[in-house]
Amino acid sequence: MTFIWPQLLWLLLILPLLVAGYWVVLRRRKKLVVQYAGLATVRQAMQGTSRLKRHLPPLLFLLAIALMLIAAARPAAVMTLPSEHKTMILAVDVSGSMRATDVAPSRFAAALTAVRTFVEQQPRNTRVGIVSFAGSANLVQPPTSSREDLLDALNRMQLQRGTAVGSGILMSLKAIFPDIKFNLNSSDPRDVEPRDGMAARALGSNGEKSDAEDFKPVPPGSFGSAAIILLTDGQTTTGPDPVEASKMAAERGVRVFTIGIGTAAGEVLTGDGWAMHVRLDEAPLKEIAELTKAQYFYAGTASDLAKVYKTLSSRLTMERRESEISGLFAAGAAVLAILSGLLSMLWFNRIV
């Protein structure tokens, strides 16, 4: 447990003074009982009262004061709480290599099954968007809370040529921050699309200033309102560098969770007069997750992939984070103070 205002913990030094004051009052009361014979009935009452009953209400009140002083220092602790993520972008690889059957029945079929289950398990207050990428990236479904629209979008996805993992990240980022301007067709993800044949690094497509001029990076992983889940076999063949694209996500605090589907040995795909060896390339996926303060998951089978999405679902809806708990200490102090007063009234017909 930590404290936001630890300097206020010095106020706890008041407690020994209160204990000393209570002891002085007890000593004075005893002297009065002994000194004045007219207080004999009071003395008998004090002797007849158990020591626990006499001291328990003041002790409870002292503990209440201690809790209030701790609450004033604003304690914080790491707790499992509902996630702040309100938008999740699912970026799914639809390149030809996803036809490989090293993940049965195929990488693509296993991916769609797992994504459908993930979508169905999300709470209704979470908006989910879907991006597909092959040689280029497309926003198949803008962020929505309609599970029916999301499932329909997944049913429309088809395999295409090429693999532009960087474009998938950038399109996902665009779905979260629509005002971002970049060129998906450039090898440099920080390029801005040209306007009227002019270089547009300083101007956006609508003549406005690019966000590169006034954008201020934030710590990686600090954006709590959205996250990207990227599923691919990791073999980039075209488009922007995925690692450089992930740096743009990191600068905006967006975490990119990566899922590698396939096996290291891979498989040889054949077509009309061609053959291609496709295998899982984990290195860039691990780097993307590390740069954005997220996590990489390996899915070598359909069962593994289902478990990954189940883990991500629970992690993104409930997460451990530091939260202020001064309210709990204040509530505890109020309960102890009320209990102290009730016991005093019950046993002594007054608040002592």
Name the pairing type of β-strands 296-299 and 255-261: parallel
Q: Where are the domains of the chain?
A: 2-79+324-348, 83-300
Mean pLDDT over each residue of the chain, to the nearest integer: 81
- Bigger pLDDT: 317 vs 304: 304
Of 166-170, 239-243, 247-251, 304-308, minimum mean pLDDT range: 304-308
pTM exceeding the 0.85 threshold for the entire prediction: no
- What local confidence, expressed as pLDDT, does residue 42 receive? 52
Per-residue exposure over 78-100, b if at least 16 CB sit within 10 Å of its own CB, e if not = eeeeebebebbbbbbbbbbbbeb
Instruction: Identify the top-confidence range among 52-61, 66-75, 210-219.
Output: 66-75
- Bigger pLDDT: 80 vs 326: 326
> Once rounded to an integer, what is the mean pLDDT over residues 90-117?
91
Name the pairing type of β-strands 87-93 and 127-133: parallel
Residue 197 confidence class, pLDDT cut points 50, 70, 90: very low
- What local confidence, expressed as pLDDT, does residue 92 receive? 95
- What local confidence, expressed as pLDDT, does residue 341 receive? 84
pLDDT for residue 130 is more than 80: yes
Share of the chain above pLDDT 90, in %: 32
CATH architecture of the domain with range 83-300: 3-Layer(aba) Sandwich (3.40)
> Once rounded to an integer, what is the mean pLDDT over residues 306-317?
75
Instruction: Identify the top-confidence range among 70-79, 161-170, 197-206.
Output: 161-170
> Once rounded to an integer, what is the mean pLDDT over residues 237-245?
90
Torsion of CA 55, 61, 64, 68, to 10 degrees: -140
Cα distances from 63 to residues 4, 8, 34, 59, in angstroms, run 21, 17, 31, 6
- Rounded to whole angstroms, the Cα distance separating 130 from 90 reads 5
Residue pLDDT, tens place only, 259-285: 999 888 878 777 776 777 788 889 999
- What local confidence, expressed as pLDDT, does residue 195 receive? 46
Q: Which residues contact 98 (CB under 8 A, 6 or more apart)?
A: 106, 107, 108, 111, 159, 233, 261
> Once rounded to an integer, what is the mean pLDDT over residues 306-314?
79
- Rounded to whole angstroms, the Cα distance separating 272 from 156 reads 25
